Structure 1
Amino acid sequence: MAVDLSELLVIGVSTRALFDLEVENDLFQSQGIAAFRAYQLEKEEELLAPGTAFYLVKSLLELNTIANKKIVEVVVMSRNSAETGFRVLNSIEQHQLDITRVAFTGGEPLSPYIEAYDIDLFLSKDSAEVQRVIDSKKCAAAYLYAPPTDFNSKDTRVKIAFDADAVLFSEESEYRYKTEGLDAFQDYEKAHENDALNEGPFAKLLMKLSKIQEHLPTPIEYSPLRLAIVTARSAPSHKRVIKTLRKWGVYVDEVYFLGGLAKDKVLEAFGAHIFFDDQDTHLESASLVVPSGKVLYETDSPLNQLQKTTIITKS
């Protein structure tokens, strides 16, 4: 009988996102597949160090023990062959990660296999692969920045932080802010305070995480899976966010309305295992203190077109 993963939180993570494989990737890019294969075979028994997504994956898998049943599944996905990926299998075992599903595509794109594995969130350090997944609209996806140099969370809880607009919510409000200015944005949000914001690319993931909390044997206020929103919004645009979450039936533990302040200090205090945002201006500083992922715009989205126009104008 086929296994049904629809009730689980399923994370698809590339090998470079899970482990530090930058030396190996540089070797592949500079010397080709033959040199890369030889290096991997030579280092087959050498343990790989954690990558950007490692502590998130490790902590999420530990929720299965707390729940006393499987509520999280992780699928390691790689364009390696089984031969060159054997070192990854050894490292998964040595790090004692409860991962049983692996996809080695032998150079073929990973995105066609997202639906086959029922992936809810795809994490990768290949921006082109992330873009393909985002354009397919099959699941949430993020391009991961390099990990902080000294991040090693001792918190036994899983902590996930999200930006609001163009991440959890649609890009409509973000586009209005960028094209019409702050005053027009604030006026519109206040006037539509009671209208739920449209779903963004990470809305379904947030809803799945909220459902996962229900399987944990603790009151939701003390859940070992802790969710936060860290947004540049402020009064009077803040109430629409809270009312939208209520209408979605989603419980978020912490919300920070920063009114344009930098996000890195709040994220460091929160201790996020991962932070998702759509803007490099926030991610560049945040990624120095917590693992961070960029939510790319869909190729044909208004924000992506606006971004391209801005780059051309500046150049």
Structure 2
Amino acid sequence: MSTQLSDKLVIAISSRALFNLGDSHRVFEEQGLEAFAAYQIDHENDVLEKGDAFPLVQKFLQINQRLEEPRVEVILLSRNSADTGLRVFNSIEHYGLDITRAAFCNGESPWRYIAPFGCHLFLSSDGSDVRGALERGVAAATLVAGSSHERDDETLRFAFDGDAVIFSDEAEQIFKRDGLAAFAAAERASAQQPLGGGPFKGFLEALQQLQAEFAAESCPIRTALVTARSAPAHERVIRTLRAWNIRIDESVFLGGLPKGEFLRAFGADVFFDDQPAHCASAAEHVATGHVPHGVANEPVS
């Protein structure tokens, strides 16, 4: 087993994102921690059903099979105890997932282990854990319950919203405060000025470094920007990515159209967006992660 993670792209995932723990979580909410622990131990040999992030994780780990040296890793971060987490690891073994590292925190938030593990992305079903990770500079998203589907395509497809996800929310602040016309005018005036980086910039950079290890025609990873922007606000986005030396495989400028059908056409394994309403709509078509960052997620006064 490798003792170094610095040369890998590392995704951390919660047990509730990886597997369907709905029954046991209801026991926890209705009867408390002791009943939850007893339930998990009683069922520790029962294989858990796949969760919303399972197809994503499975495809992600399969990338190692195409490389001479493993370059990706998945870390399990869980609020379970190691004792109750045995059912999770039994299910991991059943499905043949190459996940060997984990932190079980027995009710405490696991985000404090993200930095020591060197994680580039954290996926969870717990919004408070996700916000803790984002506040510490790690790309993170809360998986939204919806209608995710396993896809026959072996290519791993990531889709991202732009503002407040890949980019900062500076332009979105203008839109929220002054409206669409002011936003369009500001973006036209600032077309030559790159946007600031958002919480997913670092993950996108690491993802592109991994893509670069494959020939373009055989790369098992594909990315897409799916944004509500339209012309003329597209120019600043294109010039920003160019300035960052980041390549996005596909860019879709929707001008406010609903994103779901376009995400399904792309075949996204996961889509990241900062706006709760957009996430709820997209989740009807693909696995979706809400990024609770930026002006769209500030409390309404």
Aligned mate of 1:168, from 159, 166, 170: 166
Q: How far did residue 3 of structure 1 move?
A: 2.9
> What is the CA deviation profile of residues 89-110 of structure 1, one whole-angstrom value per residue up to 9, with x for unaligned ones?
0100111101111111122221
> What is the CA deviation profile of residues 209-251 of structure 1, one whole-angstrom value per residue up to 9, with x for unaligned ones?
00010122x22x5421000000000000101111111111111
- Partner letter of residue 34 of structure 1? E
Matches within 5 A, 1:1-315: 3-137=3-137, 139-148=138-147, 151-216=149-214, 218-219=215-216, 222-297=218-293, 302-305=295-298, 307-309=299-301
In 1, Cα distance between equivalents of 2:210 and 2:39:
40
In 1, are the aligned partners of 2:15 and 2:88 still within 8 Å (CA)? yes
Q: How far did residue 68 of structure 1 move?
A: 2.8
- Partner letter of residue 195 of structure 2? L
In 1, Cα distance between equivalents of 2:19 and 2:143:
12
- More deviation, 11-20/33-42: 33-42
Q: How far did residue 43 of structure 1 move?
A: 1.1
Q: How far did residue 304 of structure 1 move?
A: 4.0
In 2, Cα distance between equivalents of 1:125 and 1:9:
21
In 2, are the aligned partners of 1:51 and 1:147 still within 8 Å (CA)? no
In 1, Cα distance between equivalents of 2:162 and 2:67:
29
- Partner letter of residue 141 of structure 1? A
In 2, are the aligned partners of 1:10 and 1:119 still within 8 Å (CA)? yes
> What is the CA deviation profile of residues 133-165 of structure 1, one whole-angstrom value per residue up to 9, with x for unaligned ones?
11222x10101111416x111110000000000
Q: Counterpart of 2:252 in 1: which secondary structure?
A: strand
In 2, are the aligned partners of 1:55 and 1:152 still within 8 Å (CA)? yes
Q: Counterpart of 1:226 in 2: which secondary structure?
A: strand
Cα separation, partners in 2 of 1:187 and 1:302, compared to 1, 3 Å: same
Please give the TM-score of this superposition, normalised by the length of structure 2: 0.96
Q: Counterpart of 1:128 in 2: which secondary structure?
A: helix
Q: Which runs of 5+ in 2 are unaligned?
A: none
State the aligned residue count: 301
In 2, Cα distance between equivalents of 1:249 and 1:5:
24
> What is the CA deviation profile of residues 17-66 of structure 1, one whole-angstrom value per residue up to 9, with x for unaligned ones?
00000111111011012211121112111111111111111101111111
In 1, are the aligned partners of 2:11 and 2:73 still within 8 Å (CA)? yes
RMSD: 1.5
In 2, Cα distance between equivalents of 1:276 and 1:202:
9
Q: Which residue of 2 aligns with 1:312?
A: none
Q: Counterpart of 2:117 in 1: which secondary structure?
A: coil
In 2, are the aligned partners of 1:81 and 1:106 still within 8 Å (CA)? yes
